[in-house]
Amino acid sequence: MKKKQRKKINLYSRDFLYTQDFSKTEIKAIVDLTFLLKKMHLSGKSARFFDSGLAISIFRDFSTRTRFSFASAVSFTGLTLSELNEEQTQISHGETVRETANMISFLTEVIGIRDDLYIGEGHKYMKEIADAVREGYENGVLARKPTIINLQSDIDHPTQTFSDLAHLVNFFGSWKKLRGKRIAMSWAYSPSYGKPLSVPQGIITLFTRFGMNVILAHPEGYGLMPEIIETAKANSKKSGGSFEITNDMDKAFKNADIVYPKSWAPFTIMKKRTELLRAGRRDGLRQLEKKCLDMNSRNKKWECTKEKINLTKGQNALYMHCLPADISGVNCIRGEVSKDVFEKYRIQTYKEAGYKPFVIASVILLTRFKRITSILKKLKI
């Protein structure tokens, strides 16, 4: 990276909540450092930039990949992981979020949060924590303001989509080669209910930044958040790519270089769900779940089969998934992807996932160390 570009990067002390908050140069810096850290790990080199200090994780939903990616990044950079288990703490005793955020942060460098279950909640909660620790720092309570890292919110899943981006840059060989590539971010059938919108939303907002032709495909009624759609449109206009929406999976797959078939719950239903949860209406929730599963079951054809892959460029598009996938005949009767297609790309999806620890480590280092230009220079990025 040239000196001029490095000067444009200002990541120190910033939070990592939403990709749209970052410039293209900053995104590239994060991904380039990701590659370098991965190489360092391969050759057994140390990335222990910290001598001590806590990294806290708050998981309000299940996690395997992200949990261990965070733990790995934390160990790799020299921090100590401490999980905030909300049941073991006094939070249940009526402590405010603002207070807890400060109480856990006296020696904390990073707070990673997964809060993806309710529309309108996760991102808000992360902002609340971020504001609280900023106030603490500004009032001399905290020596440093910890970085908040979004480990999946109701809106975005940036550590995942940055891993996806790194995977594509590596797969196609360069940043430049992303330009003009056609990617189908498609809904796919799942027998389960309530999967977050964060991945498809993250994908269409991030990949439209790089001149790609992004097609969002889903059955009618499975729309994403309207403001996210607007952002994707604006991004593609600016970057010189394209963005379109279709209700036809085949159309989306046709001639695609990359396909990302994945289930999610419709935005309208997720919104309704949050309202019912807030009102404590269990009956309504049961009915909503039934309604959503019924909707899903009318769309069982939205499965990524060999026939679908045969529609893609050279019958050989790159299949992507954030994992775990619902694989027909493996962990469900019928799901997002057929067994043969998944098996063909399985190792690729593992490699895709393998960038995540290094994305997180990259974000940690770039947001915690002030003299980033000198670090990048030293690391020859």
Backbone angles phi, psi at 139, to 5 degrees: -100, 10
Q: Which of residues 92-121 bind its own copies (CB under 8 A)?
A: 92-96, 99-100, 102-104, 106-108
The whole-angstrom separation of Cα 270 and Cα 119 is 6
Of the candidates 114, 109, 25, 122, the one whose C-alpha atom is nearest the C-alpha of residue 69 is: 114
The total of other beta-carbon atoms located within 10 Å of residue 219's CB is 18
Distance of CA 325 to the CA centre of its chain: 15
Of 211 and 357, which has the nearer Cβ to its own copies? 357
- Strand runs labelled E in the chain: 54-59, 80-83, 108-115, 147-153, 182-187, 213-217, 242-246, 258-262, 318-319
Of 216 and 327, which has the nearer Cβ to its own copies? 327
Task: Choose one: 68-76, 211-219, 256-264, 293-301; the region binding its own copies (CB under 8 A).
Answer: 68-76
Q: Which of residues 176-205 bind its own copies (CB under 8 A)?
A: 192
Q: Does 323 bind its own copies (CB under 8 A)?
A: yes
3-class DSSP state of 173: coil
* Strand partners for 185: 216, 260
The whole-angstrom separation of Cα 360 and Cα 368 is 12
Q: Does 64 bind its own copies (CB under 8 A)?
A: yes
Question: At closest approach, how far in Å is the CB of 15 from its own copies?
Answer: 20
Q: Does 54 bind its own copies (CB under 8 A)?
A: yes
Question: At closest approach, how far in Å is the CB of 53 from its own copies?
Answer: 6
Question: At closest approach, how far in Å is the CB of 109 from its own copies?
Answer: 10
Q: Does 310 bind its own copies (CB under 8 A)?
A: no
With CB under 8 A as the contact rule, the residue among 10, 23, 89, 310 that binds its own copies is 89
Total residues contacting its own copies by CB under 8 A comes to 67
Question: At closest approach, how far in Å is the CB of 120 from its own copies?
Answer: 23
Convert residues 347-366 into a mask of x (bound to its own copies by CB under 8 A) and - (unbound): x--xx-xx-xx---------
The whole-angstrom separation of Cα 125 and Cα 128 is 5
Question: At closest approach, how far in Å is the CB of 151 from its own copies?
Answer: 13
* Strand partners for 83: 57
With tokens 């929730």, the residue in question is 285
With CB under 8 A as the contact rule, the residue among 13, 20, 80, 170 that binds its own copies is 80
3-class DSSP state of 184: strand
Question: At closest approach, how far in Å is the CB of 34 from its own copies?
Answer: 12
Task: Choose one: 137-145, 178-186, 235-243, 300-308; the region binding its own copies (CB under 8 A).
Answer: 137-145
**Residue 22, C-beta contacts closer than 8 angstroms, at least 6 positions apart:** 11, 30
The total of other beta-carbon atoms located within 10 Å of residue 33's CB is 25
Of 347 and 380, which has the nearer Cβ to its own copies? 347
Residue type (1 letter), 178: L
Question: At closest approach, how far in Å is the CB of 198 from its own copies?
Answer: 15
E strand or H helix at 349: helix 339-354
Q: Does 139 bind its own copies (CB under 8 A)?
A: yes
Residue numbers at the binding site for its own copies (CB under 8 A): 41-42, 46-48, 51-54, 56, 59, 62-65, 67-69, 71-72, 74-82, 84, 88-96, 99-100, 102-104, 106-108, 136, 139-143, 192, 323-324, 326, 330-332, 347, 350-351, 353-354, 356-357
